[in-house]
């Protein structure tokens, strides 16, 4: 298969995934709007976000080029690495179907207050955690939703000024705990006595070992 054919196939997969994610997000937006007592979506909300095939092609092509450049020689392993990298990039690009739909709908919907970032998968990175901790502060002036490779975050519309969600409060609490240096490497560790970074705290939390880094209280 030629590179051009491969890229075209990946772009087609992304377009289908983007469309499916956009449709699912719009249905969820409609349900959330009705639950807030605002009624159904306006008729012109039938489709609020569309993918850009040219931008998708450029993004996938850049990923393939970068992956090939990192390999010393061409081999089956190289092909597998390129396929894995292109697949991961495709999944990230397709996921924008949902977030583009929500952020665009919020900009067009006069009844929406804004949107908030969330992650119900549980693999939040330290950078995204800080964004989640901000709560429902994103609005028409906040710019677009950005995601890194493998990001599992989503955007959720907010229809009333309800303050941060429980997830945002928890994220902010963890951020403050790290800022107060409440988690420290124990004696005997090569970093003994030093505070953990937010990234390290998240890793320890997922591993179920976070309590080991809380200094004993007097």
Q: What is the pLDDT of residues 72-96, one digit of tens each?
A: 666 667 778 888 889 999 999 999 9
Strand 114-118 relative to strand 154-158, pairing: antiparallel
H/E/C letters for each residue in the chain? CCHHHHHHHHHHHHHHHHHHHHHHHHHHHHHHHHHCCCCCCCHHHCCCCCCCHHHHHHHHHHHHHHHHHCCCCCCHHHHHHHHHHHHHHHHHHHHHHHHHHHHHHHHHCCCCCEEEEECCCCCCCHHHHHHHHCCCCECCCCCCCCCCCCCCCEEEEECCCCCCCHHHHHHHHHHHHHHCCCCECCCCCCCCCCECCHHHHHHHHHHCCHHHHCCCCC
Q: Specify the pTM.
A: 0.82
Q: What is the pLDDT of residues 40-80, one digit of tens each?
A: 888 877 777 889 999 999 999 998 888 777 766 666 677 78
Q: Note the pLDDT of residue 9.
A: 92
Higher pLDDT, residue 120 or 213: 213
Q: What is the pLDDT of residues 154-180, one digit of tens each?
A: 999 998 877 788 889 999 999 999 999
Percent of the chain at pLDDT exceeding 90? 44
Q: Answer whether 9's CB lies under 8 Å from 85's CB.
A: no
Q: Note the pLDDT of residue 71.
A: 67
Q: In Å, what is the CA distance from 53 to each residue of 14, 74, 95, 98, 169?
A: 9, 28, 14, 16, 38
């Amino acid at each position: 298969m030629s590179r051009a054919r491969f890229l075209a196939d990946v772009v087609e997969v992304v377009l289908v995934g983007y469309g499916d994610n956009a449709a699912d997000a719009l249905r969820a937006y409609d349900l959330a709007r009705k639950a807030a007592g605002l009624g159904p979506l306006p008729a012109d909300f039938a489709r609020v976000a569309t993918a850009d095939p040219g931008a998708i092609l450029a993004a996938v092509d850049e990923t393939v080029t970068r992956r090939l450049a990192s390999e010393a020689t061409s081999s089956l392993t190289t092909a597998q690495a390129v396929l894995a990298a292109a697949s991961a990039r495709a999944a990230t690009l397709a996921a924008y179907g949902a977030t583009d739909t929500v952020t665009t709908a919020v900009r067009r919907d006069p009844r929406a207050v804004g949107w908030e970032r969330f992650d119900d998968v549980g693999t939040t990175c330290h950078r995204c955690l800080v964004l989640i901790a901000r709560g429902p502060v994103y609005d028409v002036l906040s710019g677009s939703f950005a995601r890194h490779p493998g990001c599992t975050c989503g955007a959720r519309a907010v229809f009333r000024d309800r303050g941060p969600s429980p997830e945002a409060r928890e994220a902010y609490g963890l951020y403050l705990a790290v800022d107060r240096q409440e988690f420290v490497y124990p004696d005997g560790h090569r970093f003994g006595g030093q505070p953990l970074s937010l990234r390290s705290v998240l890793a320890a939390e997922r591993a179920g070992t976070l309590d080991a880094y809380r200094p004993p209280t007097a």
